Structure formats: structure tokens, C-alpha cells
Amino acid sequence: MTQVTEGVYFIQGQDEMIPDSHVYVVGKPGSQDLSIIDAGLMGKGSYKIQSILNMGIELKTIARIIMTHTHLDHIGCLAEIREQIPWAELWVHDTEADPLEKGDERTVYGMEMFQNMCMMQYGLKPGAFTFYVDKRLQGGESLDVGEMTWEVVHIPGHSPGSIGLYNRIEKILIPGDVVYADYAIGRFDLHGADGSELKNSLLQLAKLEVNILLPGHNRIVTDLPTGYIAETAKQWAPYLT
């Protein structure tokens, strides 16, 4: 785990056959009000917890887990992490909260073929990803957590309830799987995905001034060129209809 800036820590995903999402821990040290952003793949819970401990962060200072979205590579080890911090609340966008509470796992797995493969490979039972959601995010609100302010931006298209978290003061964007480094974007062929929504979401993100891009996979960028997201949206626009 490395520190990106004061109050933002990065834990690199450990990809297997299936990718493991990065995890970010946000909140000023000493606030006792830290948030974990995303969890990761099945089996990666102890790696993520150990990384947090190695940074000298006490688990009791973690108040919540916020999901950028509920795909398997982000939510797979949520239960493992919550075993270590059972008091932590779960915050998810409204659109993906309902299915999560009802045990509708179509968004988690994205496609049926992948679901069957994963359930066999990891010995997962139907309903393994059923969670109570403590707070339903809508988009447009500001979260005052850990002595920082994170604006919630609803950016559907990769998944219906994808959110970005934006810190306006330090110009940091945590976009989940919506936009990555190197002009890459998230896939838009899974359950609930929509290319034209993804285009609109990219255009919405392009309005934000972003210096630090902290995506769900691949490299993080701490000196993002001006207009990067607008340029990414432009390059992909012909495919996002």
C-alpha cells in the first residue's frame, strides 16, 4: 500500500485469472473516520486488510466501505473484509443497492456464462453476494467523511450504479471502472451496461478538473494532462452509441 497524498492510500489489486480491483483508503489520518473504496476479488480480503495494517492504520478507524460499483472483481472479498471490520457500513449507489439486498446477482457477475464459471471455480453459492446497504448514494451529494469532502457523481454505463468520487480541493477522481489510464474505458457489454450512458458519463467527468486519477485497475496517474477525460470520451464516442 502506498500513500498517494495526505488522506489517500492506494492498495494495488493482485490480479489472478480474474482481475482484483484496486482498493483506496481515504480520510485524514487521525480522523478516526476512514473509508475503504471497493474490496476486490474473492480470496484477496486478507491481503487488503494486511496492506492497511502495514501502513500503520488501525482497523477501528475504518467507518465504512464505499463501492464504486458491485462487479465481482470489486465486491468478491467484501465479506472477507467485513469479517475483520464488522462495524463498517456499506454505501452503494441506489441502483445497485436493491439487487444487492435481494440477492439478484446479475450485475455482480455481469453475464451468465461468467457466473457459472466463477461459481464452479470459487465454490460460490447462489446468494453469496447478498448484502444490506447502510446508505444509498444518489449522485450529486457531498460526503463529508474523514475530514475530507468527496462529491458523488453517478456515472452509469459500465454498470447501472457506477459512481465516481471526486475531491474538488485536491482534484482527485476515483472513477471505478468508467475511465482508466492510457485512454482506456470500462467495458460496456455486461448486464445493465449501456454504451450511450457511458458516453454521457465520460462527458460529465470531463467537466471536472482532475489532476489525480485513481481507477479500479491498471496504473494510477498523479499528473493527468488537462482535458484527458474529454479526449478519452472523444476517442471512444464512435463506439458508444
Q: Is 105 in the site for Zn ion (CB under 5 A)?
A: no
Q: Which of 96, 81, 98 is nearest to 35 (CA)?
A: 81
- Which of 139, 175 has the CB closer to Zn ion? 175
| Segment interacting with Zn ion, rule: CB under 5 A, options 64-72, 111-119, 142-150, 194-202 | 64-72
Candidate residues 20, 38, 105, 177; the one interacting with Zn ion per rule CB under 5 A:
177
Per-residue binder mask for Zn ion (CB under 5 A), 9-28, x = binder: ------------x-------
Between the alpha carbon of residue 122 and those of residues 76, 99, 119, 130, the distances in Å are 10, 21, 5, 16
Cell triple for residue 40?
Answer: 476486490
Q: Is 216 in the site for Zn ion (CB under 5 A)?
A: yes
- Which of 76, 216 has the CB closer to Zn ion? 216
- Which of 27, 186 has the CB closer to Zn ion? 186
Q: Is 71 in the site for Zn ion (CB under 5 A)?
A: yes
Cα(201)–Cα(199) distance, integer angstroms:
5
Smallest distance, Zn ion to C-beta of residue 21, A: 5
Q: Are 108 and 76 in contact (CB under 8 A)?
A: no
Smallest distance, Zn ion to C-beta of residue 182, A: 16
Cα(80)–Cα(40) distance, integer angstroms:
10
- Which of 75, 172 has the CB closer to Zn ion? 75
Size of the site for Zn ion (CB under 5 A): 5
In terms of DSSP bridges, do strands 62-66 and 89-93 run parallel, antiparallel, or are they unpaired? Answer: parallel
Q: Are 96 and 107 in contact (CB under 8 A)?
A: yes
Cα(32)–Cα(37) distance, integer angstroms:
16
Q: Is 96 in the site for Zn ion (CB under 5 A)?
A: no
- Which of 99, 216 has the CB closer to Zn ion? 216
Phi, psi of 212 (to 5 degrees): -120, 120
Smallest distance, Zn ion to C-beta of residue 111, A: 12
In the block, residue with C-alpha cell 481515504: 26
Q: What does the binding site for Zn ion look like in residue numbers (CB under 5 A)?
A: 21, 71, 73, 177, 216
